[in-house]
Amino acid sequence: MKKFLTVILVITLAFLTACGGSPSATSSPVSSSVDSLSTAPGTEKIKIGLVQMMEHPSLDEIREAIFTELTAQGFDASKVDIDYQNGQGDMNTLNSIAQKFVGDEVDMIIAIATPAAQAAAAATTDIPIIFSAVTDPVDAGLVGSLEKPDRNCTGTSDAIPTEQIFTLADELTPGIETYGFLYNQGESNSVSVINDAKATLDAKGVAYIETCVITSGEVTSAAQSLIGKVDAIFCPIDNTVAYAMPNLSQIAIEAKLPVYVAADSMVNDGGLATVGVNYTQLGVQTAQMAAKVLSGTAVADVPVEVLTQYSTVANKDTAAALGIDVSNYTK
Partner 1 sequence: MSMVLLRGAAEQGFIYSLVALGLYLSFRTLNIADLTVDGSFTLGAAAAATLTVLGHPILGLLAAIFAGSLAGLVTAVLQTKLKVQPILAGIITMTALYSINLRVMGNRSNLPLLREDTVFTLFSNLLPAALRGYSKLALSLIFAILTALLLIVFLRTRLGLSIRATGDNRTMVSSSSINPTYTTTVGLCLANALVSLSGGLLAQYQMFSEITLGTGMVVIGLASLIIGEVLCDMLFRSPSVARAILAAVVGAVIYRIIIAMALSASVSTSDLKLVSAVIVMIAISYPAVRDQYRFYRLRKEAQKNVDA
Quote the least distance from Cβ 186 to partner 1, whole Å: 4
Cβ burial of 151 (10 Å; 0-12, 13-18, 19+) is: middle
Closest CB to partner 1 among residues 115, 128? 115
Closest CB to partner 1 among residues 59, 142? 142
Give the binding site for partner 1 (CB under 8 A).
1, 3-4, 7-8, 11, 15, 18-19, 21-22, 24-27, 55, 85-93, 95-97, 99-100, 102-105, 114-115, 118-119, 121-123, 139-142, 151, 185-188, 191, 214
Closest CB to partner 1 among residues 3, 331? 3
Q: Residue 323: CB partners within 8 Å, gap ≥ 6?
A: none
CB 132 within 8 A of CB 64: no
Quote the least distance from Cβ 12 to partner 1, whole Å: 9
Cβ burial of 73 (10 Å; 0-12, 13-18, 19+) is: middle
Q: Please give the backbone phi and psi of residue 129, each rounded to the nearest 5 degrees, phi first.
A: -120, 125
Quote the least distance from Cβ 88 to partner 1, whole Å: 5
Closest CB to partner 1 among residues 96, 200? 96
Closest CB to partner 1 among residues 115, 271? 115
Closest CB to partner 1 among residues 163, 187? 187
Cβ burial of 233 (10 Å; 0-12, 13-18, 19+) is: buried
The residues with which 268 forms a beta bridge, in sequence order, are none
Quote the least distance from Cβ 169 to partner 1, whole Å: 25
Q: Residue 131: CB partners within 8 Å, gap ≥ 6?
A: 110, 111, 112, 114, 116, 117, 120, 137, 142, 153, 154, 155, 156, 286
d(CA 255, CA 224): 9
Quote the least distance from Cβ 1 to partner 1, whole Å: 7
Closest CB to partner 1 among residues 72, 77? 77
d(CA 219, CA 190): 15
Q: In angstroms, how far is the first alpha carbon of the chain from the final one?
A: 75
Look at strands 178-183 and 129-132 and give their pairing.
unpaired
Closest CB to partner 1 among residues 67, 310? 67
Closest CB to partner 1 among residues 6, 224? 6
The residues with which 16 forms a beta bridge, in sequence order, are none
Quote the least distance from Cβ 4 to partner 1, whole Å: 5
Quote the least distance from Cβ 206 to partner 1, whole Å: 22
Quote the least distance from Cβ 64 to partner 1, whole Å: 18
CB 47 within 8 A of CB 107: yes
Altogether, the residues listed in the chain come to a count of: 331
Quote the least distance from Cβ 8 to partner 1, whole Å: 6
CB 164 within 8 A of CB 310: yes
